[in-house]
Chain A
Amino acid sequence: MNFFTHLGRYLLMIKGMFSKPENMRLYWKELMHQCNEIGIRSVGIVVIISIFLGAVTTVQTAYQLITPLIPKTVIAIIVRDNIILELAPTLICVVLAGVVGSRIASELGNMRISEQIDALEIMGINTKTYLILPKIVAALIVVPCLVVLAAVLGIWGGKMAGSLSGILPPEIYNDGLLEDFIPYNVVFAMSKTYTYAFIISSVPAYYGYHVQGGSLEIGRASTKSVIVSCILILLADYALAAILL
């Protein structure tokens, strides 16, 4: 299948999601379930990665700024901007593409292979609306929350690393965080996050929903969905930076 066939099927899937829900209460329940699956279940990995990201950025920046002519507050400025602009949104979403994306693709793939999707269709349920839409909406709700959490913990991790290793005291780090802060950076980071959230939920849903064959194909679809999501995240990263900055 060529690129345009995939693109066409993907767009048709997105279009097919928008229909009147058969029962609003069940759809709400499914949305809450997906918020839990995508958001709460990813908190652990996000916490660990973001603290270490901040810590490593602090140590490596200090290592590169050996001249006494540059004030130590610059370390905090670099850590803050790196975390907000790139590391929290992009790196965390790449990780989530693996964690959440593979789960979405294998869940839908398994439902397809075991005829559960056919069973829902036979009942008269729009499976794209019931199975895919709640996943995308849930990702659009919880992924920005995870990225904000990652940014806060990353900056805090940087502070801890600086303080514990004696690179810079917390007061200087705090001063650096407030220096030359551009609020637009947060808007830019959130724009990237919403784009990535859509990618990491809709692309795996596409691959999982259209699985054909057996369990081997579920694994392949899962891997492919993660690879394609990561590539699309990087392309979107560059495109958004070129357009919005």
Chain B
Amino acid sequence: MIEIKNIQKGFDGRKVIDNVSATLETGKCNLIIGASGSGKTVLMKCLVGLFEPDSGEVLYDEDSITNMNEEDRKMLRQQIGMLFQGSALFDSMTVEQNVRFPLDMFTKLSAKQKHEKVNEVLARVNLAEANNKFPAEISGGMKKRVGIARAIVLNPKFLFCDEPNSGLDPKTSLVIDKLIKEITTEYGMTTVVNTHDMNSVMEIGDKIIFMHQGHKEWEGTNKDIIFSKNEELNQFIFASNFLQDAKDMRMLEAKGKISDDRDMDKLLK
């Protein structure tokens, strides 16, 4: 579990994160959503310790990363896996070398054991045939999956995903979402996903934190979000008429006014 306590962060006198508190739960996909510039990436960087918050603290299973010394922070980071927006794979290494890198750096496993572990995680992300390819030779979706494989190869307790679906087509996005969800349950991790992809929100949002202009505007689940009356959230989520119609349909459905698929067809006509 990760606890965020009154985090504040600013740059050049401008507040980017304003007094945010939240609890990110174990075994769940915790989503941080919000428009561009709402502070979600800065919040995530504060969570993983890449940025030092101006005030407040972040607790990993009750240990504060903010007050940790460098050695303890290093130890904690070995329990953290992160998938970056651009995958951040090492260009000069093959897929296998990329995934094996944390094992080479932090474990004393034999070459054979490392090879087996790499193959195991690559198979888990459905990339069994890509070991010897370089990042430049694989697609965006494959890069994301290699990024996930590298993030989970040390069996971390915490997984962070920064916009995992950016630059991907809707179908591949669904595959990545599903993978993140499955891995979270399977490994019992605390997963934090930073996204503005509405499919992800609906598919994997066990817990959703909506950021608006640097502060936490709303918190709930993917089931609550449809019925939320928060104006900012509704403007963000249901930005298009199509999505607004979809929301209306779901509300009618929830109230029992649309009983089955045939009624839905009639309404759509």
- A interface list, Cβ under 8 A from B: 19, 22-23, 25-26, 110, 114-116, 118-119, 121-126
Contacts and interface: CB of A to CB of B under 8 A. Distances in A.
Nearest to A125: B105
Nearest to B81: A122
Given A114-B88, A124-B75, A119 B82 contact: yes
Nearest to A113: B86
Contact of B84 (A22, A110, A115, A126): A115
B255 interface: no
Given A115-B88, A116-B90, A122 B50 contact: yes
B77 interface: yes
B78 interface: yes
A211 to B, nearest CB: 15
A119 B84 contact: yes
A22 B84 CA distance: 23
Contact of A26 (B86, B90, B91, B104): B104
Contacts of B101: 123
Contacts of B76: 124
Interface string B67-80: 00010011111101
B86 A115 contact: yes
Nearest to A29: B104
Contact of B78 (A23, A110, A121, A123): A123
A122 B77 contact: yes
A114 B92 CA distance: 13
Contacts of B84: 115, 118-119
B106 A122 contact: no
A80 B76 CA distance: 58
B85 interface: yes
B84 to A, nearest CB: 5
Q: What 10 A-B pairs come out closest when comparing CB atoms?
A: A124-B77, A115-B88, A119-B88, A124-B74, A115-B84, A122-B82, A124-B78, A23-B105, A116-B88, A22-B105
A153 to B, nearest CB: 31
Given A122-B50, A123-B78, A124-B74, A22 B88 contact: no
A118 B83 CA distance: 11
Contacts of B77: 121-124
13 contacts: A19-B70, A23-B106, A25-B104, A26-B104, A26-B105, A115-B85, A119-B88, A122-B80, A123-B102, A123-B105, A124-B74, A125-B105, A126-B74
B223 to A, nearest CB: 32
A22 B106 contact: yes
Contact of B86 (A19, A114, A123, A124): A114
A168 B208 CA distance: 84
Contacts of A116: 88-91
Contacts of A125: 105
Nearest to A22: B105
Interface string B25-61: 0000000000000000000000010100000000000
Contacts of B102: 123
B70 to A, nearest CB: 8
Interface string B89-108: 11100000000011011100
Nearest to B73: A124
Contacts of A124: 73-78, 106
Contacts of B85: 115
A121 B88 contact: no
Given A116-B90, A118-B84, A124-B78, 20 more contacts: A19-B70, A22-B74, A22-B105, A22-B106, A26-B104, A110-B91, A114-B88, A115-B84, A115-B85, A118-B50, A121-B77, A122-B80, A122-B82, A122-B160, A123-B101, A123-B102, A123-B106, A124-B74, A124-B75, A124-B106
